[in-house]
Chains A and B, each alone.
Chain A
Amino acid sequence: DARVTQTPRHKVTEMGQEVTMRCQPILGHNTVFWYRQTMMQGLELLAYFRNRAPLDDSGMPKDRFSAEMPDATLATLKIQPSEPRDSAVYFCASGLSEEDEQYFGPGTRLTVT
């Protein structure tokens, strides 16, 4: 049963701390997406990769956020330093292409105090 996995599922941290979220996409999917979901803004695309290369990270605050794919089985989203306004649920999704259906992970619920 192929699925996208994300770790950690929950993270509580203090303002200023570094946060790293990890995602394992479905094997064979060459497109990986990071989203952030809040009540106010809804679901926002932060960045996405095709064949491990970043294609669009325009939705991401560049000064504190970074996204990478060290290899085909791991995508990371890092926030340094974290701020209370970063509190949200962060979803990773993978798919065969930008146009095909996406498979979402369970999300990482981040709380920055």
Chain B
Amino acid sequence: SQQGEEDPQALSIQEGENATMNCSYKTSINNLQWYRQNSGRGLVHLILIRSNEREKHSGRLRVTLDTSKKSSSLLITASRAADTASYFCATVINQAGTALIFGKGTTLSVSS
């Protein structure tokens, strides 16, 4: 069963606008990660946030984590056409011997 669910499934914005994607999950986690996938390529790790962290930044990316609501958000500021991709959240649940579980992703289209 899917641990992480991204929302929205698809998002279209103009260059320069901010893009916000959300991820909800079901069980307690050790950490949550965001990945990007360009069409036809492998996934690329963007950022990892641990369960005891609330916010993390990396360049134009800002990730928040609310463990009480079991949700996370990824904000991309000042988006560019090159940000067009699918974005996935992945969780490591709080259970020994388990690996990342990926959601189905949000497809972001940034038009110039």
Q: Which residues of A contact B (CB under 8 A)?
A: 4, 31, 33, 35, 42-43, 45, 48, 55-56, 91, 93, 98-107
Please determine whether A101 and B45 come into contact, CB atoms closer than 8 angstroms. yes
Distance between Cα atoms of A98 and B94 in the complex (Å): 12
Distance between Cα atoms of A91 and B100 in the complex (Å): 14
Q: Which A residues touch B105, using CB under 8 A?
A: 42-43
Distance between Cα atoms of A65 and B48 in the complex (Å): 31
Q: Which residues of B contact A (CB under 8 A)?
A: 2, 30-31, 33, 41-45, 48, 88, 92, 97-105
Distance between Cα atoms of A93 and B97 in the complex (Å): 17
Please determine whether B99 and A33 come into contact, CB atoms closer than 8 angstroms. yes
| B96 shortest CB reach to chain A, Å | 9
Please determine whether A101 and B42 come into contact, CB atoms closer than 8 angstroms. no
Instruction: Determine which of A42, A48, A91 lies in contact with B42 in the assembled complex, contact meaning CB atoms within 8 Å.
Output: A91
Q: Which B residues touch A45, using CB under 8 A?
A: 99-102
- The secondary structure that dominates the A interface is strand
Please determine whether A99 and B30 come into contact, CB atoms closer than 8 angstroms. yes
Residue with the greatest number of chain A CB neighbours at <10 A, chosen from B2, B31, B98, B100: B100
Please determine whether A43 and B42 come into contact, CB atoms closer than 8 angstroms. no
Distance between Cα atoms of A42 and B30 in the complex (Å): 23
Please determine whether B99 and A48 come into contact, CB atoms closer than 8 angstroms. yes
| B37 shortest CB reach to chain A, Å | 8
Q: Which B residues touch A48, using CB under 8 A?
A: 99
| B30 shortest CB reach to chain A, Å | 6
| B86 shortest CB reach to chain A, Å | 10
Distance between Cα atoms of A69 and B102 in the complex (Å): 23
Beyond A103-B45, A104-B42, whether A98 also contacts B104 by CB under 8 A is no
